[in-house]
Amino acid sequence: MAILINAEHLSRYYGKHCAIKDVSFTLAQGEVLGFLGPNGAGKTTTMQILSGNLAPSSGRVEINGYDLQNQPNAAKRSLGYLPDTPPLYKDLSVQEFLYYCAQLHGIPKKAIVSAVIKAQERCGLMSVSHRLIANLSKGYQQRIGIAQAIIHNPDVIMLDEPTVGLDPLQIREIRDLISELGRDHGIILSTHTLSEVQAVCTHVQIIHQGQLILKESIVHLNQQIDTASVLIGTRLKPDLTILSALNGVTSIESISDQHIKIHYRLTNNPTSRIIETIMSSGWELQELTPIKRSMEDIFITLTQNNDS
């Protein structure tokens, strides 16, 4: 797959404050990269640098092989950007606004009408084409924001918090649209919503206090989420060697002499075997509490470890 974005060692300082530090990653065609982090973690700063709206204090960005600082016009031709607040002229109709955006992107005059129609079709805007933007719902306004980002058919689409403030139905519609766009483009989706990453992304990276602390495929991350644990309490100290040998057990964490945490894959739950072994060995089971890891757990663990 072609590498569409190559970001190398990006840092940005505001005076003595470091907003992001040594951020490096790539984006390939067909990838939907979830850029995840709490508010204030450095997501928007990174997005502004990638879009060419903010210069890094150090580091460099290539978009489709063009250096963003040295060849900005060539680089930005391959880029579509939706900031956290859609840049809309609300006194225009949807069609008028997109026609204007097409002109700004330098689309040849004879191709503008077809480009506007295609963007409206992809974003579900044909039925409101002639309505004023000011009179449309926030969900439709987000769709218009995405339409202006893709009207010139860029290789890279960057979306900053595209579902903030939307109702559940609007969120599902926008996510479906992002998934569809991800088949033909490379997409960076900045969000602080973990479920959004799981719903639409192929890869995820987590930023915390300006630094990347995780870069992983969703497939591999879901494998981590698919691991579960069970908290075991016994009256007598159990033999961990015997329990570790049980089919399905991946690891054991000792909490105290009578309390342990056993980790396993959800696809091979050994709980019944653990109970039988404890009872037959005479250790006397006193507590059994299932624990399943979620993406939230992984996020909290990573950020807490990074703080320590």
Is residue 166 domain-shared with residue 193, that is, in the same domain? yes
Is residue 109 domain-shared with residue 216, that is, in the same domain? no
For the chain, give the secondary structure using H, E and C: CCEEEEEEEEEEEECCEEEEEEEEEEEECCCEEEEECCCCCCHHHHHHHHCCCCCCCEEEEEECCEECCCCHHHHHCCEEEECCCCCCCCCCEHHHHHHHHHHHCCCCHHHHHHHHHHHHHHCCCHHHCCCEHHHCCHHHHHHHHHHHHHCCCCCEEEEECCCCCCCHHHHHHHHHHHHHHCCCCEEEEEECCHHHHHHHCCEEEEEECCEEEEEEEHHHHHHHHCEEEEEEEECCCCCHHHHHCCCCEEEEEECCCCEEEEEEEHHHCCHHHHHHHHHHHCCCEEEEEEEECCHHHHHHHHHHHHHC
Last residue of a domain, one of 133, 148, 163: 148
Residue-wise pLDDT tens for the chain (308 aa)? 789 999 999 999 999 999 999 999 999 999 999 998 878 889 989 999 999 999 999 999 999 999 999 999 999 999 999 988 888 999 999 999 999 999 999 999 999 999 999 999 989 999 999 999 999 998 899 999 999 999 999 999 999 888 887 888 888 888 998 999 898 899 999 987 777 888 899 999 989 889 998 888 888 777 666 678 899 999 999 999 999 999 999 889 899 999 999 988 878 899 999 999 999 999 999 999 988 666 666 666 666 556 55
Number of domains in the chain: 3
Last residue of a domain, one of 225, 247, 266: 225
- Token pair for 94: 């949807």
- What is the radius of gyration, based on Cα positions, of the chain? 24
Is residue 61 domain-shared with residue 165, that is, in the same domain? yes
Q: What is the pLDDT of residue 208?
A: 87
- Token pair for 213: 């602390």
Global pTM value: 0.76
**Cα–Cα distance between 199 and 160 in angstroms, integer?**
16
Is residue 159 domain-shared with residue 70, that is, in the same domain? yes
Last residue of a domain, one of 225, 246, 279: 225
CATH of the domain at 259: 3.30.70.1560
Q: What is the dihedral of CA 81, 83, 89, 94, to 10 degrees?
A: 60
CATH of the domain at 53: 3.40.50.300
**Cα–Cα distance between 117 and 115 in angstroms, integer?**
6
Is residue 143 domain-shared with residue 23, that is, in the same domain? no
Is residue 22 domain-shared with residue 143, that is, in the same domain? no
Q: What is the pLDDT of residue 194?
A: 77
Amino acid at 8: E
Residue among 29, 28, 25 nearest 183 (CA) = 29
Is residue 46 domain-shared with residue 140, that is, in the same domain? no
Q: What is the pLDDT of residue 228?
A: 81
Within 10 A of 244 (CB to CB), how many other CB atoms are there? 12
Is residue 36 domain-shared with residue 182, that is, in the same domain? yes
Is residue 173 domain-shared with residue 213, that is, in the same domain? yes
Is residue 118 domain-shared with residue 92, that is, in the same domain? yes
Range of the domain at 200: 1-78+154-225
Is residue 38 domain-shared with residue 158, that is, in the same domain? yes
- Burial environment of residue 289 by CB neighbours within 10 A (0 to 12, 13 to 18, 19 or more): exposed
Is residue 144 domain-shared with residue 160, that is, in the same domain? no
Cα angle 244, 302, 213; round to 5? 125
